[in-house]
Structure 1
Amino acid sequence: MAEHEVKQILRDLDHLQPATLSQAPNLLSRAKLALLKLDALVPDADTTPHHLHFGAAVLEHGALVSIRLKDTDAFTRYYQQLQSFYALPAERWNSRVGKPKNQAKVTGLYLLLLLSVGDYAGFHTVLEGLEVSSGKGEMEQNEFIQYPVRLEQALMEGSYDKVWGETKRERVPSEEFGVFSEVLINTIRSEIASCSERAYPSLPISNAKNLLFLDSEGAVVQFAQARGWVAKDGRIYFPQQEEEMLAAQRDVMSSSSMVIENTLGYARKLETIV
Structure 2
Amino acid sequence: MSSASKAASGPEYELQAVIRRLRTLLTSRDYASAASLLTQGKAHLLRLNALLPSSNTPRAHLILAREVLEAGALTSLHLRDMDAFVRYVQQLQGFYVLPESVLPRQGDNASKITGLYMLLLLSRGDYAAFHTVLETLEVGGDDRPGRVEDDKFIQYPVRLEQALMEGSYDRVWGETKGNRVPAEEFSIFSEVLVNTIRLEIASCSEQAYPSVPISNAKNLFFLESEGQVVEFAKERGWTVRDGRIYFPHQEQEGLASEKDILTTSKQVIENTLGYTRELETIV
- Shared fold (TM-score, shorter chain, > 0.5): yes
CA contact (8 A) 2:139 2:147 kept: no
- Give the corresponding residue for 1:270: none
- Give the corresponding residue for 1:160: 169
- Give the corresponding residue for 1:110: 117
Instruction: Supply the distance in 1 between the matched residues of 2:130 and 2:145 (Cα, whole angstroms).
Output: 16
Taking structure 2 as the reference length, the TM-score comes to 0.78
**Mean Cα displacement is larger for which, 158-167 or 187-196?**
187-196
1:141 aligns with 2:150: yes
CA contact (8 A) 1:86 1:100 kept: no
CA root-mean-square deviation: 2.0
Q: Secondary structure at the match of 2:52?
A: coil
Instruction: Supply the distance in 2 between the matched residues of 1:190 and 1:46 (Cα, whole angstroms).
Output: 51
CA contact (8 A) 1:43 1:84 kept: yes
1:44 aligns with 2:51: no
- Give the corresponding residue for 1:124: 131
Q: Deviation of residue 163 (structure 1)?
A: 0.9
- Give the corresponding residue for 2:243: 234
**Mean Cα displacement is larger for which, 214-223 or 112-121?**
214-223
Instruction: Supply the distance in 2 between the matched residues of 1:229 and 1:67 (Cα, whole angstroms).
Output: 35
Residue type of the alignment partner of 2:58: T
Q: Secondary structure at the match of 2:240?
A: strand
**Mean Cα displacement is larger for which, 56-65 or 222-231?**
222-231
Q: Deviation of residue 132 (structure 1)?
A: 5.4
Q: Deviation of residue 198 (structure 1)?
A: 4.2
| Cα separation, partners in 2 of 1:69 and 1:3, compared to 1, 3 Å | same
Q: Deviation of residue 194 (structure 1)?
A: 2.9
| Cα separation, partners in 2 of 1:228 and 1:3, compared to 1, 3 Å | farther
Q: Deviations over 1:238-257 (max 9, x none)?
A: 3xx24x56xxxxxxxxxxxx
Residue type of the alignment partner of 2:125: G
Q: Deviation of residue 233 (structure 1)?
A: 1.6
- Give the corresponding residue for 2:66: 56
Stretches of structure 1 lacking an aligned partner (at least 5 in a row): 246-274
Instruction: Supply the distance in 1 between the matched residues of 2:18 and 2:209 (Cα, whole angstroms).
Output: 56
Q: Secondary structure at the match of 2:125?
A: coil
Q: Deviation of residue 188 (structure 1)?
A: 1.4
Q: Secondary structure at the match of 1:203?
A: strand
Q: Secondary structure at the match of 2:98?
A: coil
CA contact (8 A) 1:154 1:162 kept: yes
Instruction: Supply the distance in 2 between the matched residues of 1:69 and 1:223 (Cα, whole angstroms).
Output: 27
Percent identity between the two aligned chains: 59
Residue type of the alignment partner of 2:224: D
Q: Deviations over 1:103-147 (max 9, x none)?
A: 000000011111111111211111110035766722211100111
Residue type of the alignment partner of 1:44: S
Instruction: Supply the distance in 1 between the matched residues of 2:198 and 2:18 (Cα, whole angstroms).
Output: 40
Q: Secondary structure at the match of 1:170?
A: helix
- Give the corresponding residue for 1:178: 187
Instruction: Supply the distance in 1 between the matched residues of 2:139 and 2:153 (Cα, whole angstroms).
Output: 17
Instruction: Supply the distance in 2 between the matched residues of 1:72 and 1:133 (Cα, whole angstroms).
Output: 30
CA contact (8 A) 2:213 2:245 kept: yes
Q: Deviations over 1:46-78 (max 9, x none)?
A: 101100011111111111111111111111111
**Mean Cα displacement is larger for which, 199-208 or 82-91?**
199-208
Instruction: Supply the distance in 2 between the matched residues of 1:203 and 1:18 (Cα, whole angstroms).
Output: 46
Where do residues 1-274 of structure 1 align in structure 2 (5 Å cutoff)?
1-16=10-25, 20-94=30-104, 98-99=105-106, 101-131=108-138, 137-238=146-247, 241-242=248-249
| Cα separation, partners in 2 of 1:66 and 1:216, compared to 1, 3 Å | same
Instruction: Supply the distance in 1 between the matched residues of 2:136 and 2:113 (Cα, whole angstroms).
Output: 15
Aligned length: 239
Instruction: Supply the distance in 2 between the matched residues of 1:104 and 1:13 (Cα, whole angstroms).
Output: 21
CA contact (8 A) 1:104 1:144 kept: yes
Q: Deviations over 1:195-248 (max 9, x none)?
A: 33344443211222122122222221232233343322211233xx24x56xxx
Pick the structure with greater CA Rg: 1
Instruction: Supply the distance in 2 between the matched residues of 1:49 and 1:161 (Cα, whole angstroms).
Output: 46
Instruction: Supply the distance in 1 between the matched residues of 2:182 and 2:83 (Cα, whole angstroms).
Output: 22
